[in-house]
Chain A
Amino acid sequence: LVGCSGGGKDTAADLDGTQLLTIPREDMGTFDRNFNPFSNPDFPMTQQAIYESMLIFNPADGTTTPWLATEWEVAPDGTGVTYHLRDDVKWSDGEPLVADDVVVSFDLQRQIRGGFDYIEKITAVDDTTVQFDFSEPFSPALLDIGQQSIAPAHIWREFDDPAKETNPEPVGTGPYTEVTNFQAQSFDLLRNPEYWQPDAQRIEGIRVLAFAGNDGANLAAANGDVDWAPQFIPNIEKAYVEKDPEHRFYWFPPTGSMVNWQFNTTKAPFDDANVRKALSMAVDREQVAEIGMQGYTKPADCTGLTGSYDSWRDEDVVSSCTWTKRDLDGAAKLLDEAGITLGSDGKRVLPDGTPFEFDYSVGAASSDWVSVGNVIAQNLAELGVTVNVAARDWAEVVSGYESGDFDSGVVWSNSAPTPYQFYRGVMSTETVKPAGEQAFENYHRFGSPEADALLDRFAAASDQATQTSVMNELEALFAAEAPVAPLFPGPEWGAASTARFTGWPTEDDPYATLSTRARTAVLILTTLEPVKG
């Protein structure tokens, strides 16, 4: 009764191999029983332990693991994909997985959550073959489609209103599907009796704990009450690792979205690429990463690509580019050329005589990015440019972004298995909306016809070589135009302890990221082994 059970404080006697893998969920103070894989936001472990996808892309090492599908073919003209499903997979209620399940899942996904607009038709060719036809060539679709969670058609067809279904007793193909002991602040997931890889179910089950915020979850992690700490932990060395250095470790691969400093290019002088570059050059990204992000990430380069896309990165572009390295003199020169000159008071003025002073918008809730803003403001002050860190409510900030009513601000980029979506989001004219009209991406409103052409070529290319060469051109274009100033790749938080479970992915063995919300989590769940005795 006394004390909290279920944590790393267990004595050896408790480690009988049946201990539950304890995972915190830091942004849900309480749980409502809702295992609908199509609802937003994701309910903990639903997409990881209960439902699975046809393949799993691991951004940490760029590999793709076949999962519910064993193999796939991309149509030569890039206008379709065919997946072949595993034939030994059963739903947790004993029904076999069939192609129709995939068809229904995509119908539901498109109907409830939207997206996949490029898919024209989905056909269940036979029980294990499902074919997707696109309206136009779209090579990034392979991973996109492959990572969609598949739900059982025989169950979901029965629901009157799938969007509002809370699915309290989920039926999935994942390793841990049996919900037990569901309480407002914790629930357990036990083994799927019908799992297709019974050998991989080495742990007894998963216990998820609810926390009303990072503080509580961090405390639990520091105290050793959880095995896995997938949330942001400040000063993690001291706060977490140091308390049990033998077992605890963390690994923050730079595989999240790229965090950019965007400028409203519909406003002068931000419409001038050189000004953008100059501002970017004034930023001390090392300091930004060190202080703003507690050293948990590293500076971005001129490609704007995160660690997920290391295989795409063109080292030539990286080495020839200058505007992501701190160079105050260079920045000053560029600004002088743009007519933004230093006034007598040490502050720069625009050609029209007004002081060069603008806002850095950021959501107040993202305290790390506010700190980043503070560092940037401090950096730019040295250049004679005044940046006001305007930390406001995210909704307000985003609505400013959407309508194009902002000076500059911090923004995340699209993340997807290939850099296509990233470059489309920052450079394509298709995503540019005139100021005043609501935009959902490309808030900075930069479009380049050149980029459009390259993006189209990339989408149509079905062979790796062509894709790589097109991508190199896109990278060079990005480096030349600097549509946004990439700051650093968002790290994917992850820390864990080997006190009770071993087999975690690490920097040396990056078979998955250490995130509980990524698709790759299922790889971890099927790899971990309980510590015994």
Chain B
Amino acid sequence: MGYILRRLGFYLAAFWVSITLNFMLPRLMPGDPVSRMVARLQGSIRPEQIEALRRSFGVDDAPLWEQYVRYLGQMLSGDMGFSISRFPTPVTDVIAGQVGWTVLLGLTSLIIAVAIGNLLGILAAWRRGGVLDSVLPPVLIFIGSFPYFWLAMGLLWLFGVTLGWFPLRHAFSMGTVPDFSLDFVGDVAYHLVLPATSIVLVSIGGWMLGMRNTMIATNAEDYIVMAEAKGLRPGRIMMRYAARNAMLPSVTAFGMSLGFIVGGALLTEVVFAYPGVGYQLLSAVQNLDYPLMQGLFLTITTAVLIANFLVDIVYVRLDPRVRVS
């Protein structure tokens, strides 16, 4: 319990640091969203409209600390204001509409990568020198060395455009109405294949290699030798004794990767025109949409912190050694 409380304290501190950072960052840069918009629309906003724009977006001239206090209040009450680039949609609406897709894409690919990667790692370490152990790691590392947007574009062109096996864009077919029918779920899964594969391909090597290396270390532990001496079946030794212990560092790494879920799919989302917050963050940044940017960053950070906290709780279940202390 003490451990969990301690972690909670840490996450609160981390949360405060990140919301403060979130506040400071946009205010450190030159230019304001209105100038940015003027530049972006190149001539279709008239100079005389600029003042009105400023007014309506509430570009703020109050002293920093005052803005900070107000900002803290707003963040705590969940009010993130209006998106500037999508005025007058509230930031919360913009995010709420998209975050689900990002989580779907990120979580699916993460889980697939972790599951397959770890399994391969376990098997490779268990049968040293086999195909899995000697051929697969370099191959996966090589694939993982490609910039993931590059790989995503390659997949899109190969399997989407050239071969036409998979849809080129979006999370589900145009014109379908989202519901929980089998058809729709199938459609969503079908659209998920390429984007998820591109992420899985890039990340699976790291998982496999990590698991393999930990597992090799674990295999040399006395308790594995003891389990063998006990005459247990190899399958049981591999899963219950070796993999169960070797998994622990992966769990921590999994927590860390949750951060990647939300932010990391950014380029994938852009390449596959997949809905999600990643792309929105990019466009918010391009439009200097502070409120949206802050909202997104805050959402992402909060999600990551909460997810990590959950991982910590799970970790406590998985590793009895941290329960006391």
Contacts and interface: CB of A to CB of B under 8 A. Distances in A.
Contact of A32 (B42, B49, B97): B97
Given A6-B175, A398-B36, A30 B275 contact: yes
A40 B270 contact: no
A440 B47 contact: yes
B48 interface: yes
Interface in B103-134: none
Given A113-B53, A166-B88, A184 B275 contact: yes
Contacts of B170: 4, 185-186, 209-210
B46 A29 contact: no
Contacts of A65: none
Interface string B279-290: 110110010100
Contacts of B198: none
A212 B102 CA distance: 14
A245 to B, nearest CB: 19
A228 interface: no
Interface in B123-176: 156, 161, 164, 167-175
B91 to A, nearest CB: 10
B319 interface: no
Nearest to B94: A32
Contact of A39 (B88, B161, B283): B88
Nearest to B46: A115
Contact of A114 (B49, B173, B190, B286): B49
Given A257-B42, A412-B42, A1 B186 contact: yes
Contact of A440 (B38, B83, B275, B283): B38
Given A2-B190, A29-B270, A34-B88, A415 B167 contact: no
A395 B288 contact: yes
A213 B270 contact: yes
Contacts of B183: 1
A332 interface: no
A413 interface: yes
Nearest to A22: B174
Interface residues of B, number: 69
B43 A3 contact: no
Of B35, B89, B174, chain A has the most CB atoms within 10 Å of the CB of: B174
Contacts of A220: 168-169
A30 B275 CA distance: 6
A302 B286 CA distance: 34
A223 B86 contact: no
Interface string A56-84: 00000000000000000000000000000
Contacts of B49: 113-115
Nearest to B86: A32
B82 interface: yes
B171 to A, nearest CB: 7
B30 interface: yes
Contacts of B52: 110-115
Given A2-B190, A257-B42, A398-B31, A223 B48 contact: no
Given A398-B35, A490-B42, A184 B97 contact: yes
B283 to A, nearest CB: 7
A403 to B, nearest CB: 10
Interface residues of A, number: 68
B273 A29 contact: yes
A164 interface: yes
A36 B88 contact: yes
Of B38, B269, B273, chain A has the most CB atoms within 10 Å of the CB of: B273
Contact of A394 (B40, B45, B89, B98): B40
A435 to B, nearest CB: 17
A268 interface: no
Interface in B50-81: 50-53, 55-56
B283 A27 contact: yes
Interface string B293-312: 00000000000000000000
Contact of B35 (A27, A186, A395): A395
Interface string A128-165: 00000000000000000000000000000000000111
Contacts of A425: 47
Contacts of A6: 174-175
A114 B51 contact: yes
Contacts of B82: 164
A256 B43 contact: yes
B273 A413 contact: no
B168 A399 contact: no
B5 interface: no
Given A113-B49, A115-B49, A163 B43 contact: no
Contacts of B174: 4-6, 183, 185-186, 207, 209
A210 B273 contact: yes
Nearest to A187: B174
B39 A183 contact: no
B279 A212 contact: yes
B249 interface: no
Contacts of A39: 87-88
Contact of B39 (A165, A186, A256, A397): A397
Given A1-B187, A398-B38, A165 B88 contact: yes
B177 interface: yes
Contacts of B275: 29-30, 184-185, 210
Interface in A438-465: 440-441
Contacts of A363: 39
A415 B273 contact: no
Interface in A181-226: 181, 183-186, 188, 207, 209-213, 215-216, 219-220, 223, 225
A1 B97 contact: no
Contact of A399 (B31, B40, B44, B87): B31
Given A209-B174, A212-B269, A212-B279, A413 B35 contact: no
B28 interface: no
B85 interface: yes
Of B47, B156, B171, chain A has the most CB atoms within 10 Å of the CB of: B47
A402 interface: yes
Of B49, B51, B280, chain A has the most CB atoms within 10 Å of the CB of: B49
A516 B180 CA distance: 35
B270 A41 contact: no
B271 interface: yes
3 shortest interchain CB distances as A-B pairs: A114-B52, A395-B31, A257-B43
8 contacts: A4-B174, A34-B88, A36-B88, A113-B56, A184-B171, A209-B169, A212-B273, A257-B43
Given A211-B273, A395-B31, A413-B43, 15 more contacts: A1-B187, A1-B190, A4-B168, A4-B174, A27-B283, A29-B270, A30-B97, A30-B275, A41-B41, A114-B49, A114-B53, A184-B97, A184-B171, A212-B283, A220-B168
